[in-house]
Amino acid sequence: MPVQKFTVRFDRQDPRSASYLKEARALGFRALRGITVQDLYFLEGQLSQEICKQLALELLADPVAQSAAWTELPASPAPPRTDTVTVEVALRPGVTDPVAEQIVRAAHELGFDQVRRAATGLRFLLEGADQAEAEKLARRLLVNDVIQHWAIGAIEPSFPQESESSGKVESVPIRELADDELLAISSTRRAALDQAEMHAIQTYFRAEGRDPSDVEFETIAQTWSEHCVHKTFKALVTVADAVNGQPPALSGGEGSTVNSIIKTYLKSATEQIDAPWMLSAFVDNAGIIAFDDEYEVSFKVETHNHPSAIEPFGGANTGVGGVIRDVLGVSAKPIANTDVLCFGPQDLDPESLPDGVLHPRRIQSGVVSGVQDYGNKIGIPTVNGAILYDEGYTANPLVFCGCVGLAPRGKHVHTPHEGDRMIVLGGRTGRDGLRGATFSSMTMDAQTGEVAGASVQIGDPITEKGLIDVITRARDHGLYHAITDCGAGGLSSAAGEMASALGADIELACVRLKYPGLAPWEIWLSEAQERMVLAVPPDNVSALQELCNTFDTELTDIGVFSASGRLLVRHHGELVLDLDNEFLHEGLPQRKLNAIIEHSILDTSKSEYRLSNIDANEVLLQLLSHPNIASKAAVIRIYDHEVQGGTVVKPLTGVGGDAPSDAAVIKPVGTNGARGIVLSNGINPQYGKRDAYRMALAVVDEAVRNAVAVGADPQRIALLDNFCWGDPLRAETMGSLIEAARGCRDAALLNSAPFISGKDSLNNEYLGTDGRRHAIPPTLLISAIGLIDDVRQAITMDLKEAGDDVYLVGNFEPVFGGSHFSLVTARSSNESVPAVHGDSPKVYAALHRAMLDGLVRSAHDLSEGGLAVAAAEMCIGGRLGIKIESEAWDDHIRALFAETTGTLLVEVRPQDRDGFLARFDGLPALRIGTITREPFLSVLVHGVKVIHLALSDLIAAWEKPA
Amino acid sequence: MKPQALVLQAHGTNRDLDVMDALTLAGADAVGVPLNELRAGKTLWTDFQLVVLPGGFSYADALGAGKLLAIDLRSYFADAIAAFVASGKPVIGICNGFQALVRAGILPGANVIASDRSERGNLPANRRLLRRNSAAPRNDMEVTLTFNAAGHFECRWVTLKAVSDTCLWTRGLDELITCPVAHGEGNFQTAHENGLTVLAANGQVALTYAHADGSPAGNSYPANPNGSVMDIAGLCNAAGNVLGLMPHPENHVHDYQHPRHTRGETGRSGLALFRNGVAYAEKL
């Protein structure tokens, strides 16, 4: 069948060219003069010249801005152009190509039934590059070998391959194997199971009198994977002190063993707090709290680190899609997304990268595009987040994706009944994402990108939008008994979990495939995106089908829920999996791990700095330009944060719409009254490197404080934890994990803020070809969700009016340990990281009272960079100045730049002074300055001007990251 | 009786509820209608006095924003839409809806712009042969909404000035409209400069990007967020009943939506546009 190759180019400059060129230059390709991008479309079919012409104009090109040309393959090679090298790129077969699918569909809609298949590609014309440079640039910037193939010159199209149909089921003989052979099987199948786990499987099948099929083995590996079952967080851990080897004195009297981190630290705090407004914690796909009498709000945050490391766009894209399905899995409508991202330094020397590692710039631009693509297209506002940089994230970036949902109270059901049909909704199943669950449970190495290529996919947000439309309506009509999402582990995980209380009988031949040729275990384990599994009473299937027809969503009936207590899976009738639920879900032996608690840097004596010679002006500008602190507007603005019309406090705020909000406030459309949802986060790997326990306390405090700063009621804040750590088999790593979890519990209790959901991502390490391990800093993300009774009373951080007073509230005990001052001045500190003061909840309660009484005009938390950075940001927000005067600060560098917890700057009208202070009776609230019309931030200590900076200089520094 | 407003829910529409909120506040009965229900004849265009094509990412913007939805409009609803437009009833396309109206040839509509396309290589001089299943007036895409000049999607608040008395949606709007844009392909361009002259002369330039004080953006970023020629943010047909615009006035119909509401700046200035459209529909 002939193939026509269409090339579409912009008549004016391609808007993509400039950004490619900028990225290329940043990666060191300075000789390059230009990059021109053109789109390639390969259409297979008997297409006349006239049809090609019409396809070009009607479908493939924008006739006003673009031109199209086409040629039948094989084409005669284009005459070589001096000084320009052509690179052509296309997706590998099997990688989802939604545009190609749309070309065929739309061509048929236009009446061009002759179009049989389509594929897409890109052509880059590199001006000023020789072939060697071009190849290097292709690898570094233009192409990702994991999902694409490429050529210098013309590329062959890659249509989805129709491989041989395969119903093949292999037996995995394990009954007779010795220990080392069992481990070898685990390793070759990339199952990530240890010896005790392999033994348990062996014992089960010895009793069954047979060996497992590959479907069974893969199902067990998936069900027992770290990703799905969190065996580290449920392990029995023996804890010892690093110095004397004795059991350490843990604050909760746990003694020398911790039996399950989740139970001991996270669930126990939630149970103890026992908040009446908490509706569901740790059981569903997402945590749920009450919004009002009518609605409930759900929140989930997931990580998608390993996939984002090897294919940043697809990894982040499907990370967002995955967490949205978590919220759909509690029958809620997704109403807001959050994204917290950690990358290596953007200016890293490309030559210094370990093998197989993408440059942090590429990772960032890919991840950000992936987040943007999914969130914007599905129509969920991205309202809160953070971006942090540290060398520790170079090979192992972190991508935290959060989603908030809204649902009528009591409508979420989760109990399948015997006889219910097992229904799959959404996308088709392909070979995508195989073994993702086990892949994410391993340390990556230089080959990971290659081997795990199949673990990465590209999302399809519009298909998932259809799922939202169908499921929210099906919920309102009561059409299903239970629902869950297809995430890691695919049908195996979703169907297996749903059937765990009853049993099920499933026919894999019913599953709709993207292309034929999948082995039964591949169908069962595929992590193809945009699928949900529902338990639907047989009488309701036709009503559900009708909804699906309306919203272009596919419905597939794959089996029935039974009361057998067994999971049965067939392929064309032949039984390929027959497992006892009890074994599958309870048969995993508890892991036994060791932890060593290392002594944190807890030197409480203040450093003897010679700080008097430091130019505070210069330090402040450096801090404002530090990538962790500087404006993230370039990223925030490419996310749609307005869709759904409920974003009351936006990520950027103030007079110029360019200052950083402490938290987001959302007023969900459709809810009555003025109540809103507050979203914030806390994260601090610099503290994590030094003291995991205090870091946990500090980041919980930061999340709570950020929420309170915009007006959240401190008595109704719930928390989510996301732990990203290294290899837990290393006792020191396990020790810091326990310390962080302990900090989470103590912080939750202190703030009466329960944990409602959490997730851990371990093994965030990278084994380089240099043989060294590259581990990430211990990173704990705390996401907070709170309520504000009247969104019209929300507070933003921008200064409002000259003449107002500025107060410093909270216990102000600044220290340099883990501070950004240490980073920008390269002065390492022996000090501890900031402790959390027991009074901080009282401070937040007082501040909230003052806000409700209308006494607060702006508020901003002190975080990275300390008081001076917070004050500068408030000036930027209000386009006003602040004059700070202090007679109390003997060490002004410490006061201005060292870091604290529990403190905020608050703007109050002079006439409200007494009322404001009355609410802080007995709590620290100190007037430190006045807001000025003169656009300067100035600080006078003992009458000496230590900072005097023009607003324009503050803005310039903040908006141009170093 | 309140005017009935059809809010078209296509494959990938996502600001449908936002605009239904705005229409309700403006006094209409807003009904979200999935495209497939119209296709199946379960809902009829003729039952409505006003039609909205809301924002979103129909078909994920594959092959250009609005392109595939435009093919749907022409394949399935050419006659119905042509009749609706010809009857003078108000139609509005916002963001992706605007893109689809342009790609379907409904905007700027039937005012033929002289065109000599012979210089465009493979493109045929005679575009008439491309008209298929299309009773809607086609202008052969002499205008387009292409990629933003900055090369990427952007979400930010802008100021709009209503500049057309031809357009029933913008007629008499003296106040500036403050509302967000959220798009990657909103850069309005014409194939020929004389096209601009014709559009301006006909009063078809309905909304332009402005500075906060109302002075023209003058193609300066970010007041003009996407590089549109002549700061064009919204365009109507010659009859003035069909408006397409890139920004989202439906996202500024409550005080708390304003980005500086905590500084006392409110106004719900997006609502006036919908009030105009609904009031017109009411009189039909």
Residue A558: band (very low, low, confident or very high) from pLDDT cuts 50, 70, 90: very high
CB contact under 8 A, A109 and B122: no
Distance from CA of A847 to the nearest CA of B (A): 17
Q: Judge contact between B240 and B203, C-beta under 8 A.
A: yes
| DSSP states of A566-599 | EEEEEETTEEEEEEEHHHHHH-SPPPEEEEEEPP
Whole-number pLDDT of residue A678: 98
**Burial letters B218-257, b for 16+ CB under 10 A, else e:** eeeebbbbbbbebbbbbbbbbbbbbbbbbbbbbbbbbebb
Min Cα separation B232/chain A (Å): 16
Helix or strand (DSSP H, E) at A197: helix A195-208
Which residues of chain A from 468 to 497 reach within 8 Å of chain B, CB to CB? 469
Q: Give contacts of B146 with chain A, Cβ < 8 Å.
A: 15, 62, 64-65
Quickly count: other Cβ atoms within 10 Å of residue A267's Cβ: 18
Contacts of A631 in chain B (CB under 8 A): none
Mutate to test the interface with A, among B142, B263, B265, B271 (most CBs of A within 10 A): B263
CB pairs under 8 A between A and B: 189
DSSP element (H, E) containing A151 = strand A148-152
Q: Is B212 on the interface with A (CB under 8 A)?
A: no
Lowest mean pLDDT segment, chosen from A202-211, A418-427, A513-522: A513-522
Residue pLDDT, tens place only, A789-820: 999 999 999 999 999 999 999 999 999 999 99
Q: Which residue has the tokens 């170079």?
A: A394
Residues of A classed as catalytic: 227, 304
Q: Which residue has the tokens 């094509």?
A: B53
By C-alpha distance, the chain B residue nearest A464 is B12
Q: Which residue in B256, B258, B260 has the most chain A C-beta atoms within 10 A of its own C-beta, making it the best mutation to test that interface?
A: B256
Give the pLDDT confidence score for residue A160 in this predicted structure: 65
Q: Which residues of chain B does A16 touch, with a Cβ-Cβ cutoff of 8 Å?
A: 147, 151
DSSP structure class, residue A60: I
Q: How confident is the model at residue A145 (pLDDT cuts 50, 70, 90)?
A: confident
**Is the pLDDT confidence value at B133 over 50?**
no
**Most A CBs within 10 Å: which of B131, B187, B262, as the mutation test of the A interface?**
B262
- Decide if B129 and A54 are in contact by the 8 Å CB cutoff: yes
Interface check for B256 against chain A (CB to CB < 8 A): the answer is yes
User: Rounded to an integer, what distance in angstroms lies between the CA atom of residue A307 and that of residue A316?
Assistant: 8
CB count, 10 Å around CB of A12? 12
Cβ–Cβ below 8 Å for A99 and B63: yes
Q: What is the pLDDT of residues A160-191, one digit of tens each?
A: 655 555 678 899 999 999 999 999 999 988 88
SS3 A189: coil
Sign of CA dihedral A390, A392, A397, A400: negative
Return the pLDDT at A603.
54
Structure tokens at A718: 């719930």
The amino acid at B263 = R
Three-class SS string for chain B? CCCEEEEEECCCECCHHHHHHHHHHCCCEEEEEEHHHHHCCCCCHHHCCEEEECCECHHHHCCCCCHHHHHHHHHHHHHHHHHHHHCCCCEEEECHHHHHHHHCCCCCCCCCCCCCCCCCCCCCCCHHHHCCCCCCCCCCCCEEEECCCCCCCEEEEEEEEECCCCCCCCCCCCCCEEEEEEECCCEEEECCHHHHHHHHHCCCEEEEEECCCCCECCCCCCCCCCCCHHHEEEEECCCCCEEEECCCHHHCCCHHHCCCHHHCCCCCCCHHHHHHHHHHHHHC
**Parallel/antiparallel/unpaired status of strands A652-653 and A647-649:** unpaired
- Mark which residues 714-743 of A lie under 8 Å from B by CB: none
B95 is catalytic: yes
> With an 8 Å Cβ cutoff, is A269 touching chain B?
no
Q: What token pair was written down for B229?
A: 């020629």
Per residue in A253-284, pLDDT (tens digit) is 567 899 999 999 999 999 999 999 999 999 88
Which residue type is seen at A630?
A
Complex-level ipTM: 0.93
* Residues 6+ away with beta carbon under 8 Å from A276: none
Does B71 contact A58 at a Cβ distance shorter than 8 Å?
Answer: yes
For residue A812 the two structure tokens come to 């102000």
pLDDT digit string (tens) for A630-674?
999 999 999 999 999 999 999 999 999 999 999 999 999 889 999
Residue range A29-46: mean pLDDT, rounded: 94
Give the position of tokens 């006494």. Answer: A855
Is residue A604 scored above 50 in pLDDT? yes
A366: its two tokens: 């890919």
By residue count, chain A amounts to 962
Q: Tell me the pLDDT of chain A averaged across its residues.
A: 92
Q: Residue B125's pLDDT is what?
A: 31
Whether residue A64 and residue B191 make contact (CB cut-off 8 A), yes or no, is: yes
Say if B7 is an interface residue toward chain A (CB within 8 Å): no
The stretch A821-843 carries a mean pLDDT of: 92
Q: Indicate the pairing of strand B91-94 with strand B50-53.
A: parallel
Q: Which residue would you say has higher pLDDT here, A373 or A458?
A: A373
pTM score: 0.94
**Contact across the interface for B146 and A62, Cβ inside 8 Å:** yes
Distances (CA, A) of A53 to A48, A112, B87, B225: 9, 12, 35, 34
Tokens standing for residue A412? 């979420």
| Predicted local distance difference test score (pLDDT) of residue A823 | 94
Question: Collapsing DSSP states into helix, strand and coil, what is residue A872?
Answer: helix
Per-position DSSP letters for A391-418, written without gaps between them: GGGSSS-EEEEEEEEEEETT-------T
Q: Are the Cβ atoms of A648 and B75 closer than 8 angstroms? A: no
pLDDT at B123 over 60: no
Are the beta carbons of B117 and A53 closer than 8 angstroms? no
3-state secondary structure of A31: coil
Hey, is the C-beta of B185 within 8 angstroms of any chain A C-beta? no
Residues 6+ apart with CB under 8 A from A484: A285, A329, A494, A497, A498, A532, A533
Span A713-741, pLDDT tens digits: 999 999 999 999 999 999 999 999 999 99
Q: In chain A, count of helices (H) and strands (E)?
A: 31, 40
The band of B132, judged by pLDDT with boundaries at 50, 70 and 90, is very low
Is it the case that residue A149 has pLDDT exceeding 50?
Answer: yes
Candidates A111, A642, A670; nearest CB to B251: A642
Q: How far apart are the first and last CA of chain B?
A: 11
Tell me the HSE value of A123 on the side-chain side, using a 13 A CA sphere.
20
Nearest CA in chain B to A552: B11
Lowest-pLDDT range of A25-29, A751-755, B13-17, B203-207: A25-29
> Can you read off the two tokens belonging to residue B137?
């007036």
Which pLDDT score is estimated for B135?
A: 29
pLDDT for position B114: 35
Calculated CA dihedral for residues B67, B72, B74, B80, nearest 10 degrees: -130
User: How crowded is residue A950: how many other Cβ atoms within 10 Å of its Cβ?
Assistant: 15
pLDDT per position as a tens digit, B137-176: 334 448 999 999 999 999 999 999 999 999 999 999 999 9
From chain A, pick out residues whose CB is under 8 angstroms from the CB of B59.
Answer: 102, 462
Answer whether A60 sits within 8 Å of B63, measured CB to CB. Answer: yes
Where in A827-869 does DSSP place strands (E)? 858-861
Give the torsion sign (CA, A12, A15, A16, A22). Answer: positive
Report yes or no: A445 at the B interface, CB cutoff 8 Å. Answer: no
Pairwise CA distance, residues A63 & B120, whole Å: 9
Task: Give residue-wise pLDDT tens across range A467-482.
Answer: 999 999 999 999 999 9
Contact A58, A110 (CB under 8 A): yes
Q: Does A379 touch chain B (CB under 8 A)?
A: yes
CA distances from A371 to A377, A466, A625, A650, B248 (A): 10, 19, 25, 18, 22
Which positions in chain A touch B123 (Cβ < 8 Å)?
Answer: 56-57, 63, 67-68
Nearest CA of chain B to the CA of A431: how many Å? 23
**Which chain B residues are Cβ-neighbours of A656 within 8 angstroms?**
none
Of A272-276, A375-379, B116-120, least confident by mean pLDDT is B116-120
Token code pair at residue A498: 């749903």
In whole angstroms, what is the distance from residue A325 CA to residue A838 CA? Answer: 38
- What is the C-alpha radius of gyration for chain B, rounded to an integer number of angstroms? 18
Strands A755-761, A717-724: pairing kind: parallel
Name the one residue in this structure whose structure tokens are 């390709």.
Answer: A29
Q: What is the pLDDT of residue A163?
A: 55
DSSP H helical ranges for A210-267: 214-223, 226-229, 261
> A330 near A285, Cβ under 8 Å?
yes
| Contact between chains at B141 and A15 (C-beta distance less than 8 A) | no
User: Would you call B98 an interface residue with chain A, using a CB distance cutoff of 8 Å?
Assistant: no
Asked whether A490 and A454 are in contact (CB, 8 A), the reply is no
CA distance A193 to A215: 16
B178 and B227 Cβ atoms separated by less than 8 Å:
no
pLDDT of residue A962: 67
B39 touches chain A (CB under 8 A): no
What CA–CA distance (Å, rounded) separates A166 from A556? 21
| Confidence at residue A451, expressed as pLDDT on a 0 to 100 scale | 43
Higher pLDDT, A353 or B61: B61
User: Per DSSP, what are the bridge partners of residue B181?
Assistant: B156
Q: In 3D, which of A794, A788, A801, A962 has the Cα closest to residue A877? A: A801
Q: Side chain identity at B7, as an amino acid letter?
A: V
Which residues in chain B are closer than 8 Å to A663, comparing Cβ atoms? Answer: none
Answer whether A74 touches B (CB < 8 Å): no
Q: Given A68, A106, A642, which is nearest B68 (Cβ)?
A: A106
Task: Provide the token pair at B27.
Answer: 């006094």
- Among all residues of chain A, which has the CA nearest to that of B129? A54
pLDDT score for A601: 57
Contacting residues for A61 by C-beta, under 8 A, at least 6 apart: A8, A67, A68
> Looking up tokens 């915009």, which residue turns up?
A710
Chain B residues inside the 8 Å CB shell of A800: 262-263
Half-sphere exposure of A944 (CA within 13 A, CB side): 12
